[in-house]
Structure 1
C-alpha cells in the first residue's frame, strides 16, 4: 500500500504546495547549490581541509533544514488531511519510513 501512495504523491500531492512555499523551498535549494559550487571551488583552489570541512558541515545543516521543513509540512498538511479522510494508517506508515530514512 505504501508503494501506491508514493506513486500518487509524486504526481499528485495530497495538499499542493502554495506558490510561496515553492518559492521559499527553491530559494533555499538555490542557496545550497551555491554553497556546493563554493565547495567545488575550495577544492580546486586547494583550500585548507578544515575550511572545506566547515563548509561541508554548513551544507549538510542547510539540507537538513530543508528536509525538516518538508517533513513538518508533509506531516501537518498531507498526513493530517489523510487521517481526517480515514486513510491515515497507510500515510502514517509511510511517514514513519520517511522519518527513519531521513534520520540515518
Structure 2
C-alpha cells in the first residue's frame, strides 16, 4: 500500500477572508469532539478484548461520522470559497475547480 505525499498546507487566498466553514465551525467542532470520544471508546473496547464484530461496528460508525464532517466541510467550501472565486475572479475560479477535482479524486480512491 503506497501512501501519497501529503500536499502542502494551504492558507486562505486572502488574509482577510475567513475559511468557508466559519459559519458552521462550532457544528463541525462539536461533531469532531463526539468522534474523538468514539475513538477513545473503540480503544477501550480493544483494551477490554471486546468481540471483533462489535469493535468493527464502532469503527464503521466513527468512519461514517468523519465522512459526514468531510461532506459538511466540502459543502461549505463549495458554497463559500469556490462560489466566491467564480463570482469575482475567473483565474482563481479555475484554480479552485482544479483543486476541488483533485481533492475529490484523492477522497474517492478507497
Per the shorter chain, which TM-score range?
Answer: 0.7 to 0.9
Contact 1:14 1:78 in 2 (8 A): no
Question: Which residues in structure 2 correspond to 1:1-104 (within 5 Å)?
Answer: 7-9=10-12, 12=15, 14-16=17-19, 17-18=22-23, 21-86=24-89, 87-104=92-109
Q: Which has the higher helix share?
A: 1
Deviation at 1:103, TM superposition (A): 1.7
Deviation at 1:76, TM superposition (A): 1.0
Unaligned runs of 5+ in 2: 1-6
Aligned to 2:4: none
Unaligned runs of 5+ in 1: none
TM-score of the two chains, using structure 2 as the length reference: 0.80
Aligned mates of 2:14, 2:47 — CA distance in 1: 39
Deviation at 1:15, TM superposition (A): 4.4
Contact 2:45 2:55 in 1 (8 A): yes
Deviation at 1:10, TM superposition (A): 8.3
Deviation at 1:7, TM superposition (A): 3.1
What's the RMSD between the two structures over aligned residues?
2.3
TM-score of the two chains, using structure 1 as the length reference: 0.84
Deviation at 1:11, TM superposition (A): 8.4
Structure 1 runs (4+) deviating above 6 angstroms are none
